Amino acid sequence: MKMTDVLSKAETPVLSLEITPPDRGRSVDELFSAIEGLMDFTPKFISVTYHQPHTVYEEVDGIIRRRPKRKKPGTVGISAAIKNRYGVTTIPHLICGGFDRFETEDALIDLHYLGMKNILALRGDPAPGHTRFVAEKDGHRYASELVTQISAMNRGEYIDELDNAVSTDFCIGVAGYPEKHSEAPNLDKDLFFLKKKVDAGADFIITQMFFSFDSFRRFVEKARETGITVPIIPGIKPVTNRRQIEQIPRLFFATMPQELVQAVEGAKTASEAFNGGTRYMAKLFRQLLNFGVPGIHLFIQEKSDDSRALLSAVYGS
């Protein structure tokens, strides 16, 4: 079912989850166990991330060969497995990095054959080891260009002109950044590019994680002033230990309010830090519900203890 259809029919804000495929060579069982630990809360969607490969060059028989090495394969397979195993609609991520337009079209055809109705279209991060995003030859530089290609296929328009081509039927999601994208000079410029993605055909927005309600509220208000009318779904992540306090701002460029930092770093034990972080995030969760969001998107780990504690604090066990 399409995300927009579920949101329009839901009487209360819907819950969705975001997971990351396991590293190459590791079992998917831990991931399934984490999902099962949250099924009591009836998530309506589960999105599955996709990561650009790290390219290495190896000499084989005197010939230098380019070899892509993907640390976390399995996005499409896991999406299909979750859909079949749990009966939950999945949203595979599709990124610009590592694909040209022709490979993107092939990937979209595969997803269409699998019956996927929703896609989260992203530019993606720079390739591992690089500080700047570089598009593939004949690939997309911006998420708006990827959205344009998906929208064209929804109209039956393929790269090569085809007779009687079947139209795809994807509901397209894109990313929003309440504190602006790390590469944008300011929020106004970032919203300009978000509007381009919506104008290209995006149907809904899921935000990057944030930890301040005021940041999200200002983002939504400015987005509406810009003319963005599609649903905006906040993305949040449980924070329950000091390592997350240190790593999340560095990896995701998200600001952590002092109240959250103090709740975790000021705790005397790991258990107190877990409970303090959970209380703060539960308060943020309730603020978002009271604000009237259409849903909440929860970024989860392979172990879902912190996510379950957060959802239990909001909804009850």
User: Do 130 and 86 contact (CB within 8 A), yes or no?
Assistant: no
pLDDT tens for each residue of 110-124 = 999 999 999 999 999
Q: What is the pLDDT of residue 316?
A: 86
According to DSSP H, which parts of the chain are helical?
3-9, 29-36, 75-86, 101-113, 143-154, 187-200, 213-226, 242-252, 258-265, 270-291, 305-315
Question: What's the whole-number mean pLDDT along residues 9-16?
Answer: 96
CA angle 152, 156, 160 (to 5 degrees): 80
Q: What is the pLDDT of residue 302?
A: 78
| Radius of gyration in angstroms for the set of CA atoms belonging to the chain, rounded to a whole number | 20
Q: What is the pLDDT of residue 126?
A: 85
Pick the closest to residue 282 from 294, 271, 298, 267 (CA basis): 298
pLDDT tens for each residue of 256-293 = 999 999 999 999 999 999 999 999 999 999 999 999 99
User: Do 100 and 53 contact (CB within 8 A), yes or no?
Assistant: no
Q: What is the pLDDT of residue 54?
A: 58
- In this structure, the chain runs to a length of 317
CATH of the domain at 61: 3.20.20.220
Structure token pair of residue 93:
């991520």
Instruction: Give residue 127's pLDDT band: very low, low, confident or very high (50, 70, 90).
Output: confident
Q: What is the pLDDT of residue 128?
A: 76
Q: What is the pLDDT of residue 104?
A: 97
Of 130-139, 151-160, 219-228, where does mean pLDDT reach its minimum? 130-139
- Number of structural domains, the chain? 1
Give the residue numbers spanning the domain of 222. Answer: 3-315
Ramachandran region, residue 139 (left: φ > 0; alpha: ψ -120 to 50; beta: rest)? beta
Question: What's the whole-number mean pLDDT along residues 299-305?
Answer: 88
pLDDT tens for each residue of 69-124 = 667 888 999 999 999 999 999 999 999 998 999 999 999 999 999 999 999 999 99
Q: What is the pLDDT of residue 25?
A: 87
Is position 183 annotated as part of the catalytic site?
no
On average, the pLDDT of the chain sits at 93
User: Do 52 and 93 contact (CB within 8 A), yes or no?
Assistant: no
Residue 11's Cβ-count burial label (10 Å; 0-12, 13-18, 19+) is exposed
Q: What is the pLDDT of residue 315?
A: 94
CA distance 136 to 159: 16
Q: What is the pTM of this model?
A: 0.93
pLDDT tens for each residue of 136-188 = 999 999 999 999 999 999 999 999 999 999 999 999 999 999 999 999 999 99
User: Do 296 and 312 contact (CB within 8 A), yes or no?
Assistant: no
Contacts of residue 211, Cβ cutoff 8 Å, sequence gap at least 6 = 236, 239, 254, 255, 256, 257, 260, 281, 284
Better-predicted residue by pLDDT, 237 or 128 = 237
Of the listed 11, 18, 30, 136, which one is catalytic? 18
